[in-house]
Amino acid sequence: MFHPRALGLALIAACGSLNGCDDLGKLDSGNAAVPASLTGFIGSPCTKDADCLYDGGFCLPASKGMPDGMCSAECSQYCDDRVGHPTTFCVARSALPRRARSRVTAGACVSRCNYGDYPSGGCREDYGCQQQARFSEPARQSYTCLPGRADARLPDCYQELADAGVGFEADIRPPDTTADGARTCTIQEAIWLEQDILGVSLVYEFDPSLQTTLAACSLGLSLADTARELQAHDVTTIRHMGTYACRTVGGTSTLSRHAFGDAIDISGFHFSDGRQITLVDDWEHNTTAFSTDEGAWLYERGRSWHATGLWSVVLTPNFDNAHDDHFHVDLTPGSSYWARETASSEVVGAGYFGPAPYVD
């Protein structure tokens, strides 16, 4: 018997490209029916233009190769977004099935792949998460929902993170450069994490209204594990000072792990009983004989995160003045930075244990 995957590959080869094939048949993504909250906007199912409730909206119907129809709009580079719906993206009309292209003269608005709304594959049933370039800006690409199978280049990490119960939107980030233009930064397997991570809110210290956080998918997996660990302590919120930033480590030419999107600076925690613990107020320097429960709790969080392998690197306020108000945690490949031993096997401070290497 012909294996289903082999059959799909054969059909793709016969057509030349997925997006030019109108008759591959329906491909079950495993997602349930589209909820009412996700109807009426770009990427939503439709049978007629009136189902697309926004300016310039129209329906690309099932009869034109769009399973269950898809709301779209003309675009020249960008599309409008709507709160509560996946982010939109403007693709060339050639990305659509041939029969659907007659409704579009330049670019067509589609939705990006959102694993919070559609945990099985990031798209609604019979649509696959496919890499596409933005119309009139080919250097900017993202993962979008279009009829057919998912892109073979789609990172396995995306489905792993979705299976862990974490909501996010897939993306492809163009390279950035550091402020001096000397280094290039790239996020591998980029995602926009939703604020709620397994019941624990991820809140940006400097703008709590932000609903998503840019990161590498690997960071999302570690944050999911961290959220599970913190739930046992009745933590409801993780406060942070940032994830991705295209910069070097201070005083060096080495890229920070923030430049890879797999680092986060955690500044505090909120609890279900209303308590708050922050690094700037509650960390106790130069001691393991803590005078407060808060200081002991912070120490144990950092120690256990490193000991259990949640994070490769854990820098605490004992590291230097620049870290006085947060934990810096990251996923440096092959690293396990926590403490070192002297020739006499005495454990000394290396970001966590022992005296702080600076004067408060």
Residue 318 clears pLDDT 90, i.e. is over it = no
- Could you tell me the pLDDT band of residue 33, with boundaries at 50, 70 and 90? low
**pLDDT average, residue stretch 135-149:** 97
Instruction: Give tens-digit pLDDT for 83-140.
Output: 999 999 999 999 999 999 999 999 999 999 999 999 999 999 999 999 999 999 999 9
Within 8 A by CB and 6+ apart from 178, the residues are: 184, 185, 246, 247, 248, 255, 259
Residue 357 clears pLDDT 60, i.e. is over it = no
- Could you tell me the pLDDT band of residue 67, with boundaries at 50, 70 and 90? very high
Specify whether domain 162-349 bears CATH 3.40.50.
no
Residue 9 clears pLDDT 50, i.e. is over it = no
**pLDDT average, residue stretch 59-84:** 97
pLDDT of amino acid 344: 36
* Mean pLDDT taken over the chain: 85
pLDDT of amino acid 31: 53
pLDDT of amino acid 342: 31
Task: Specify whether the CB–CB gap between 54 and 73 falls below 8 A.
Answer: yes
**pLDDT average, residue stretch 177-184:** 95
How far apart CA 161 and CA 309 sit, in angstroms, is 18
Count of CB atoms situated within 10 Å of the CB of 141: 17
How far apart CA 196 and CA 302 sit, in angstroms, is 22
| Cα separations in angstroms, 147 against 127, 227, 241 | 4, 35, 39
pLDDT of amino acid 343: 34
pLDDT of amino acid 36: 76
**pLDDT average, residue stretch 136-148:** 97
How far apart CA 353 and CA 351 sit, in angstroms, is 7
- Could you tell me the pLDDT band of residue 18, with boundaries at 50, 70 and 90? very low
Residue 271 clears pLDDT 80, i.e. is over it = yes
How far apart CA 214 and CA 187 sit, in angstroms, is 9
- Cβ burial, residue 284 (10 Å; 0-12/13-18/19+): middle
Domain ranges of the chain: 16-114, 162-349
pLDDT of amino acid 10: 28
User: How much of the chain, in percent, has pLDDT values that exceed 90?
Assistant: 74
- Could you tell me the pLDDT band of residue 333, with boundaries at 50, 70 and 90? confident
Instruction: Give tens-digit pLDDT for 204-262.
Output: 999 999 999 999 999 999 999 999 999 999 999 999 999 999 999 888 899 999 999 99
Residue 336 clears pLDDT 60, i.e. is over it = no
